[in-house]
């Protein structure tokens, strides 16, 4: 029995590429106007709730400021990101992978959470018979059920071509500028997850983990 289903592995690599390009092209787009607002409108920096730094060329796609090209890259990779996420949700329902992310009531007890934190700091990721421990379920569940859907929904809400077809989506987030702010925050939430994920992989037999995410590996009873 494979540790990682084919649908999971395929989505993992497609989504990784999509998110990296979307994030880096998004930083280039952010350089066009580095202020974030709440509500429907926003242009005057004095009305912004925060100002964003100007990101260097090495962190953006393309590697120099070009709003039109950055938007082209962003829209191009938004398609595999969105379609891949929807297909992944359907696959998780079909193969019941979603059950691996369900937490039990006892896992939410403060003592149990603290125990998981300590074990993570010791790089001990025993799953107590399950595929994931509590912190992994919480992290993966937050990404799959909150951050990625938030990126998709807010991205559609701030898209000028989509807004006329579904104005209710913009209203759901409290205005176009609110959706833009939430889009930015969700993107950095994903970045934080990405960094932690990579660090943990590098600290815990990276060759084995990468090989398993390519070949599927074998499920350990």
**Residue 131 to residues 13, 108, 136, 206, Cα–Cα distance (Å):** 20, 17, 9, 18
Domains of the chain: 6-215 (1.20.950.20)
CA–CA separation, 187 vs 178, rounded Å?
14
pTM value is 0.89
pLDDT tens for the chain, 221 residues: list them.
677 788 889 999 999 999 999 999 999 999 999 999 999 999 999 999 999 999 999 999 999 999 999 999 999 999 999 999 999 889 888 888 788 888 888 889 999 899 888 988 888 776 655 678 888 889 999 999 999 999 999 999 999 888 788 889 999 999 999 999 999 999 999 999 999 999 988 888 889 889 989 998 776 65
């Amino acid at each position: 029995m494979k540790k990682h289903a084919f649908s999971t592995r395929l989505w993992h690599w497609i989504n990784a590429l999509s998110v990296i390009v979307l994030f880096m092209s998004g930083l280039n787009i952010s350089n066009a106007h580095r202020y974030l607002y709440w509500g429907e409108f926003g242009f005057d920096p004095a009305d912004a709730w925060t100002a964003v730094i100007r990101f260097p060329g090495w962190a953006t796609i393309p590697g120099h400021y070009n709003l039109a090209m950055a938007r082209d890259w962003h829209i191009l990779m938004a398609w595999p990101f969105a379609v891949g996420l929807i297909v992944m949700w359907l696959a998780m329902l079909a193969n019941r992978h979603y059950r691996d992310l369900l937490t039990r009531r006892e896992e939410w007890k403060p003592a149990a959470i603290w125990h998981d934190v300590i074990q993570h700091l010791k790089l001990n990721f025993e799953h107590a018979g399950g595929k994931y421990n509590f912190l992994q379920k919480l992290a993966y569940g937050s990404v799959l059920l909150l951050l990625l859907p938030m990126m998709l929904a807010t991205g559609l809400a701030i898209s000028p071509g989509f807004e006329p077809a579904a104005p209710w989506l913009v209203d759901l987030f409290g205005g176009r500028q609110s959706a833009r702010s939430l889009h930015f925050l969700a993107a950095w939430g994903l970045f934080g997850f990405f960094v932690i994920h990579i660090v943990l992989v590098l600290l815990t037999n990276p060759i084995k983990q990468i090989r398993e995410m390519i070949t599927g590996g074998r499920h350990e009873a």
